[in-house]
A and B are shown apart, each in its own frame.
Chain A
């Protein structure tokens, strides 16, 4: 069989991404039709940069979602004779007749690895960001709102974590000696508790005066939350649905750990600014508790900057994950995540650039998309 030309490669790739195109068309079309009612998100459609960012991010999200449909090969399968194969090389006798973007040094399909890598990156980065934001919100709000000694103590703690070199911290967290101790599990148990705690406080402070809605919300929050928590953090899910492999858990904990202090600082600053508002004073004079004020009066009004920050943070986390993978930290050597793949490909960069360039481009475009989105969101939220 002949190797494919570049045009043909692109054409075939576009075809493989068909589910993504369909999803994009559906989401963007609906969004455009409803843009008048979507508030801030809707206004992205009138903003060129925002639309570009949204499209790129959605593209990767959908790729992650449909990875199984898009990938041409098993990302771990090796085909003899296709070691460092050029893009478009034929791959007879496999699930797809070509290695669209060539093979890597272990004769695996670069295209499929990139697609599978998207799934890994987009499973970890947003979840880790949300977790870090939950920690930042739950500690930053009281620090900013209550102030005083509590603020001093929490800020000191945050600075302590920030003062520690990130890479060193990672090395420490992922060294086998430390991984074997109970430290990562304990940390995970603690950090994963924050999102749950956030939801509980949110619901309780709002409905504490009314028993019915209180129970209606609290039961699923506690049930689902504790179930997920026991599975993800303690690896003790009785049904076995929620679990995280230990290497990934460590990476996750490390990423949340370094992200939390900066999230804390942002939330604290916003709370400090918003606590002097009249509506906060009004809430206090009608006897609201501090958590209601923090979560229902202050937090919703800080959402603009926090959403922008979350976008940037997902991008930053993606890069961080890449860096970790690049240094081979925390993930299994087989893992198709973009960082490790770049690292694997780097040795033959001069001769066979495709193995490293493909995941590098993927990483770059995702981060670019996130940054564009953040920029547009910031700009649009200023118009409020």
Chain B
């Protein structure tokens, strides 16, 4: 076997805090072969970024490598001084983070920044550096390199910036590329493009990669091997296909069950109860025992569980992995919704923002209605106007035109605060960002209580308190948490408090703007479960705004697809995800990561969404539409197609006829899988 590019042996990293030193990563052993992509997956707080920082020698003043070795190409890095590390870091290891802006200088043109890299490392001439920058830009498939090299960072989109960051990292021809959640801040379509690019880079240059992330579905598409971290310790590692086909550790199994799957229609993800202990709060025995369904008292909770070798290249940290035979648990499919009458009707809603650079068409002529007891999902790429639509409906913003009828009453001219109390209580919102949804300076119980006081002011103090504990029970939160401040709660718990607050007035309509997108998969599944349960029990209407198509497919009754402020398609979920769908919906579906490493690759839609600042004339999607050529003449570019009904309750905005749209079954777009086999290992 060839010498691995990177080998960690018993690596233990700790951080000093006010209250003492706590290990963030313990006894971690890993190896990355030349040309291999190793995925390191774990929930937030599991220590995955710490691994990246340790390899980069960038732990900061508080961090320290306590034990273990960290060998890069046979050279020991642990204990090296900053000076000695710098050349290795520059030429041998490069890192791309979640925030590309952090790696770039905001006041320097992209071209100049790229050209700096070869000048630093190889002392080449200015012209050569410029040429190298150009090549690098082309290599990461940046469209129109000329223009991009000449721009400042703030003029580029998130996806383009991430490509620039990757180009910069690649210019030094590193042997190891560390990617720390490189696509978390990006749209699915853009994410798919970046993943495709990484795959190409690996094939062309044989660069080894350490791909750190929390989204297993995404990693399935790129990683050869996957290592799962839990509470700072490795719990399982195996080749990706094996891990997905037959996970060994109960935690890995739970993670896979909690994963939204694009192929699993109407089966909600299965949540994993509880939270990950911080490394210093770990129970005595197996760290996962408190949440493990297979835990055995007297066995699992006695002593730390050793890491076992389960096969060639496979390890697992569980005492019972040989014994556990479990049928793959799948959730009960959701029952068909029995929608009632329309409770929310929106007609011709339009909102434009006049900015210094022009008018943003955030929401254009949107009409739909939401029925009692259904889940209506609103999907689309970032900036397509989903949040603006939600804010308009909630009265946080005023529409320029259009009507909003809430249980028959027109409310478009009444901003929040001026609506009658009954209507205010009837429609409430769940917000996206768990860090921001609660007031950081008030105990969470008091915040829910405040909503109760407003909505049920007439009740006595005692009955309000009973109601508060009922609400906490409803969202499955222990009442003891009511006295805590928001920062003392986890993200998932905060989202639940937000849901409890929204339910204080017995809301009939819940508008949830990306309620789970900032949460880890297992927590995400639990919050979704709570939402769905409430919706089913109380026959509430759930307006579920999301960019995660897999999740939408699993839980939505109806789906509305938006693009640059317009509705491109609306219909029952089964039909929207079926053979007759809008080309944009197809593209979104194709870009969604599949949690199956053996699945064939699908091309992502080309390019970033155009800006809502000056939306293209005609069909908004025509600049990226793969099927535009099938429409005669310049129709797509000149005329906006109508939102035409193609089946009862299913409308599509496209010039192609339903028959033509149907012609292309979803799988035809697939192309032969790129060779992802380990054959290209050791190519460098």
Question: Which residue numbers of A lie inside 8 Å of B, CB to CB?
Answer: 46, 209-210, 277-279, 281-290, 296-297, 300-301, 303, 384
Pick the residue among B396, B419, B439, B454 that contacts A279 (CB under 8 A). Answer: B439
B499-538 contacts to A, CB under 8 A, are 501, 504-505
B498 and A282: CB pair below 8 A? yes
Give the CA-CA distance A4 to B431 in the complex, in Å: 72
A297 and B505: CB pair below 8 A? no
> A210-B453, A278-B432 are known contacts. Are A284 and B18 too (CB-CB below 8 A)?
no
CB distance from B519 to the nearest CB of A (A): 15
Question: Which residue numbers of B lie inside 8 Å of A, CB to CB?
Answer: 18, 391, 394-396, 415-417, 419, 421, 424-425, 427-429, 431-433, 436-442, 451, 453-455, 457, 487, 498, 501, 504-505
CB distance from A298 to the nearest CB of B (A): 9
> A46-B18, A278-B436, A279-B437 are known contacts. Are A285 and B424 too (CB-CB below 8 A)?
yes
A287 and B453: CB pair below 8 A? no
A287 and B431: CB pair below 8 A? no
A284 and B416: CB pair below 8 A? yes
A209-B453, A209-B457, A281-B429 known, 18 other contacts, Cβ within 8 Å: A209-B454, A278-B436, A282-B429, A282-B498, A285-B394, A285-B395, A285-B416, A285-B424, A286-B455, A287-B416, A287-B421, A287-B424, A288-B417, A288-B454, A289-B417, A301-B441, A303-B441, A384-B487
B429 and A285: CB pair below 8 A? yes
Which residues of A have CB within 8 Å of B436? 277-279
Which residues of B have CB within 8 Å of A210? 453, 457
8 A-B pairs with the lowest CB-CB distances in the bound complex, closest first: A300-B441, A278-B431, A278-B436, A209-B457, A287-B424, A284-B416, A279-B439, A278-B437
Give the CA-CA distance A277 to B437 in the complex, in Å: 8
Give the CA-CA distance A282 to B497 in the complex, in Å: 12
Give the CA-CA distance A384 to B440 in the complex, in Å: 11
> A209-B457, A278-B432 are known contacts. Are A285 and B437 too (CB-CB below 8 A)?
no
Which residues of B have CB within 8 Å of A281? 391, 394, 396, 429, 431
A282 and B431: CB pair below 8 A? yes
Which residues of B have CB within 8 Å of A287? 416-417, 419, 421, 424, 454
Interface residue SS majority, chain A: helix
Pick the residue among B417, B432, B504, B505 that contacts A284 (CB under 8 A). Answer: B417
Which residues of B have CB within 8 Å of A279? 436-440
CB distance from A128 to the nearest CB of B (A): 27
> A209-B454, A287-B419, A288-B417 are known contacts. Are A301 and B437 too (CB-CB below 8 A)?
no
Chosen A-B contacts, 10 in total, with CB atoms closer than 8 Å, are: A46-B18, A210-B453, A210-B457, A279-B438, A285-B428, A286-B505, A287-B417, A288-B454, A297-B439, A384-B487
Query: Quick one: closest A residue to B442, CB to CB?
Result: A300
Query: Quick one: closest A residue to B420, CB to CB?
Result: A287
Which residues of A have CB within 8 Å of B417? 284, 287-290
> A277-B436, A278-B436 are known contacts. Are A286 and B431 too (CB-CB below 8 A)?
no
Which residues of B have CB within 8 Å of A300? 439, 441-442
Query: Quick one: closest A residue to B513, CB to CB?
Result: A278
Query: Quick one: closest B residue to A384, CB to CB?
Result: B487
Give the CA-CA distance A297 to B436 in the complex, in Å: 12
CB distance from B584 to the nearest CB of A (A): 29
CB distance from A253 to the nearest CB of B (A): 33
B440 and A301: CB pair below 8 A? yes
Pick the residue among A286, A296, A301, A303 that contacts B454 (CB under 8 A). Answer: A286
CB distance from B435 to the nearest CB of A (A): 9
Which residues of B have CB within 8 Å of A296? 439, 442
Which residues of B have CB within 8 Å of A278? 431-433, 436-437
> A46-B18, A287-B416 are known contacts. Are A282 and B437 too (CB-CB below 8 A)?
yes
B451 and A286: CB pair below 8 A? yes
Give the CA-CA distance A23 to B453 in the complex, in Å: 43
Query: Quick one: closest A residue to B430, CB to CB?
Result: A282
Which residues of A have CB within 8 Å of B415? 284
Give the CA-CA distance A303 to B417 in the complex, in Å: 26
CB distance from A55 to the nearest CB of B (A): 21
Which residues of B have CB within 8 Å of A303? 441
Which residues of A have CB within 8 Å of B18? 46
> A281-B429, A286-B454 are known contacts. Are A301 and B439 too (CB-CB below 8 A)?
yes
Give the CA-CA distance A301 to B487 in the complex, in Å: 13
Query: Quick one: closest A residue to B431, CB to CB?
Result: A278
CB distance from A46 to the nearest CB of B (A): 7
CB distance from A39 to the nearest CB of B (A): 10
Q: Which of B428, B441, B453 has the most CB of A within 10 A?
A: B441
CB distance from A287 to the nearest CB of B (A): 4
Give the CA-CA distance A125 to B428 in the complex, in Å: 46
Query: Quick one: closest B residue to A207, CB to CB?
Result: B453
CB distance from A291 to the nearest CB of B (A): 11
Which residues of B have CB within 8 Å of A284? 395-396, 415-417
Give the CA-CA distance A277 to B429 in the complex, in Å: 14
Which residues of A have CB within 8 Å of B391? 281
Which residues of B have CB within 8 Å of A46? 18
CB distance from B448 to the nearest CB of A (A): 11
Which residues of B have CB within 8 Å of A289? 417
Give the CA-CA distance A300 to B429 in the complex, in Å: 23
Give the CA-CA distance A127 to B437 in the complex, in Å: 36
CB distance from B388 to the nearest CB of A (A): 12
CB distance from A54 to the nearest CB of B (A): 18
Query: Quick one: closest A residue to B395, CB to CB?
Result: A285
Query: Quick one: closest A residue to B416, CB to CB?
Result: A284
Query: Quick one: closest A residue to B498, CB to CB?
Result: A282
Which residues of A have CB within 8 Å of B438? 279
A282 and B424: CB pair below 8 A? no
CB distance from A201 to the nearest CB of B (A): 16
Which residues of B have CB within 8 Å of A297? 439
Q: Which of B395, B396, B416, B437 has the most CB of A within 10 A?
A: B416
Which residues of A have CB within 8 Å of B424? 285-287
Which residues of A have CB within 8 Å of B394? 281, 285
Which residues of B have CB within 8 Å of A384? 487
Give the CA-CA distance A283 to B437 in the complex, in Å: 10
Give the CA-CA distance A281 to B501 in the complex, in Å: 13
Give the CA-CA distance A210 to B442 in the complex, in Å: 19
Give the CA-CA distance A384 to B427 in the complex, in Å: 34
Which residues of B have CB within 8 Å of A286? 424-425, 428, 451, 454-455, 501, 504-505
Give the CA-CA distance A125 to B433 in the complex, in Å: 41
Which residues of A have CB within 8 Å of B442? 296, 300
Give the CA-CA distance A210 to B501 in the complex, in Å: 19
CB distance from B444 to the nearest CB of A (A): 11
CB distance from B453 to the nearest CB of A (A): 5
Give the CA-CA distance A289 to B453 in the complex, in Å: 14
Which residues of A have CB within 8 Å of B432? 278
Query: Quick one: closest A residue to B435, CB to CB?
Result: A278
CB distance from A306 to the nearest CB of B (A): 12
Give the CA-CA distance A290 to B451 in the complex, in Å: 15
Give the CA-CA distance A255 to B429 in the complex, in Å: 46
Give the CA-CA distance A303 to B442 in the complex, in Å: 13
Which residues of A have CB within 8 Å of B498? 282
Give the CA-CA distance A288 to B431 in the complex, in Å: 17
Give the CA-CA distance A287 to B433 in the complex, in Å: 21
Give the CA-CA distance A25 to B440 in the complex, in Å: 33
Give the CA-CA distance A278 to B515 in the complex, in Å: 12
CB distance from A116 to the nearest CB of B (A): 40
CB distance from A280 to the nearest CB of B (A): 9
CB distance from A274 to the nearest CB of B (A): 10
Which residues of B have CB within 8 Å of A282? 429, 431, 437, 498, 501
> A46-B18, A279-B439, A300-B439 are known contacts. Are A285 and B455 too (CB-CB below 8 A)?
no
Which residues of A have CB within 8 Å of B457? 209-210
Give the CA-CA distance A384 to B485 in the complex, in Å: 13
Give the CA-CA distance A21 to B214 in the complex, in Å: 56
Give the CA-CA distance A289 to B504 in the complex, in Å: 18
